[in-house]
């Protein structure tokens, strides 16, 4: 059996259907796919498992599950069975959904919410899953970064001297760490800007991925996120520098006061000795 082909005998046969439903959702920071047992494997890299009565699911190691032809109940059952293998579970509503229709010789393209594919090969499903998965991850971090923007607003007013309570150094350092962590996850783990692994074995499918990448604006959204993260980092670093400068000025004043006090005491001592 070719590990990169979906075989109807395994239970995945959509030949009688006009279209199938596809949904991607983020469930955690990572999915421990190597530890999975008891799931019929249809393909690997990324992993495809059989699920539901006539469907399957692609499990992306960076915490996204993409289901094909699963009902809401079947998807819920699948996610429940995967729960022990999900690392750092996330409560997120970020998701992407579309329908896929298979027609031989059709131009593979996305029309509205319907994706046309020539066949239901594993590598095509993997490429679709990667595009949807990256879009979901971007949506999740777009929400996180928007929240970060709201939380650093007091820092900008503090720099202008309009905030009664200046930020604490611990707060500032935590935000710097948060932005670095998001960048590490997007670029190092999810590899949003990279091509999916199946394209290296099936270069002819690169056009399909590029169409999906363009439709979901993956590169543009990644660039916008990087720019926002850079702005957050600069804002926090500036706030930290201002705070440290003010702290340094306070120390200087303390030293001046101590010197003046010492001089006054010395003069007083000399005066009393007369």
Mean pLDDT, residues 156-163 taken together: 58
Among 70-74, 90-94, 132-136, 237-241, the least confident range: 237-241
Per-residue pLDDT band for 111 (boundaries 50, 70, 90) equals very high
- What pLDDT, on a 0 to 100 scale, did the predictor assign at position 13? 80
What's the rounded Cα separation, in Å, for the pair 122 and 126? 6
Taking 50 as the threshold, does the pLDDT of residue 186 lie above it? yes
pLDDT at 183: 61
How far is residue 145's CA from residue 164's CA, in Å, rounded to a whole number? 25
pTM of the entire structure? 0.77
Contact 126, 198 (CB under 8 A): yes
């Amino acid at each position: 059996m070719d590990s990169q082909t979906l075989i109807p005998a395994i239970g995945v046969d959509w030949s009688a259907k006009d279209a199938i439903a596809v949904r991607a959702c983020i469930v955690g920071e990572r999915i421990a796919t190597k530890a999975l047992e008891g799931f019929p494997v249809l393909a690997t890299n990324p992993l495809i498992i059989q699920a539901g009565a006539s469907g399957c699911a692609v499990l992306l190691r960076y915490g996204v599950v993409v289901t094909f032809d699963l009902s809401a109940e079947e998807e819920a059952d699948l996610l429940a069975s995967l729960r022990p293998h999900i690392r750092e579970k996330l409560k997120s509503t970020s998701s992407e959904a579309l329908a896929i229709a298979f027609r031989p010789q059709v131009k593979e393209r996305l029309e509205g919410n319907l994706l046309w594919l020539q066949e239901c090969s594993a590598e095509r499903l993997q490429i679709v899953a990667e595009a949807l998965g990256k879009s979901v991850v971007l949506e999740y971090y777009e929400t996180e970064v928007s929240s970060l923007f709201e939380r650093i607003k007091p820092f900008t007013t503090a720099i202008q001297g309009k905030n009664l309570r200046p930020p604490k150094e611990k707060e500032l350092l935590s935000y710097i760490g948060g932005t670095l962590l998001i960048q590490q996850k997007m670029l190092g783990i999810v590899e949003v800007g990279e091509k999916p692994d199946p394209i290296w074995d099936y270069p002819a499918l690169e056009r399909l991925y590029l169409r999906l990448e363009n439709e979901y604006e993956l590169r543009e959204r990644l660039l916008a996120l990087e720019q926002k993260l850079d702005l957050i980092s600069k804002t926090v670093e500036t706030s930290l520098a201002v705070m440290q400068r003010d702290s340094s000025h306070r120390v200087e004043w303390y030293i001046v006061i101590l010197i003046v006090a010492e001089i006054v005491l010395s003069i007083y001592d000399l005066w009393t000795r007369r």
